[in-house]
Chains A and B, each alone.
Chain A
């Protein structure tokens, strides 16, 4: 079953604009991660935020986590054509380097128009 649900399912914006994707999940988590996937290839890890963190930045990425609402958002600023991809949130129930595996949402397909 899906733990995370991304919103929107698809998003099309102009290059240079900001893109915001949201993710909701159902159970308590240890951490939440965001991944990018280009054209059905492998997933690329973008950022990880732990359950005791509220906000994290990495380059043009900003992630927030609200554990009371069981939701997270990913903001990509100053979008580029190369940001066109599918973005997935994934939750991990406990630490330990992978014992529980990741539970993924269905993803948001982001299209950046030149």
Chain B
């Protein structure tokens, strides 16, 4: 079955611009979460969506937002980009339920802010 698909793979933006990243989860997975990875801070949880609702959010400013559509596809948006937003953004999908089987990650979107 198809894995988690993230688009685009690479992106270069200028400070002050905004950016939208897309994530298509594995078919049947209704939970989508987003992570930011930087050399300094490592992997950090951004937010998680389930059935179009944000269930949890990490410690990031309001410039970081997201949404999930009825087909479980998710987008994250970063407004007013800063140089420090340069990072690898990873999306992960998982099954739902009371038992967790682990997450399936996409290959990521590498964002460079200049």
| Complex interface: chain B residues within 8 A of A47 (CB) | 102
Chain B residues with CB below 8 A from A112, complex form = none
Given contacts A45-B102, A48-B102, A97-B97, contact A102 B45 (CB under 8 A): yes
Chain B contact residues: over half helix, strand or loop, or mixed? strand
Interface size class of A (residues with CB under 8 A): 20 to 34
Distance of B105 from chain A, by nearest CB (Å): 4
Q: Are A99 and B42 in contact (CB under 8 A)?
A: no
Which label, helix, strand, loop or mixed, suits the secondary structure of the A interface?
A: loop
- Of the listed residues A31, A42, A105, A106, the one surrounded by the most CB atoms of chain B closer than 10 A to its CB is A42
Residue ranges of B at the interface with A (Cβ–Cβ < 8 Å) = 4, 30-31, 33, 35, 37, 42-45, 47-48, 50, 55-56, 58, 88, 90, 92, 94-108, 110
Seed contacts A96-B100, A100-B48; 15 additional CB < 8 Å A-B pairs = A2-B42, A41-B107, A42-B4, A42-B106, A44-B105, A45-B104, A48-B101, A95-B97, A97-B96, A99-B56, A101-B48, A102-B33, A102-B43, A105-B42, A107-B42
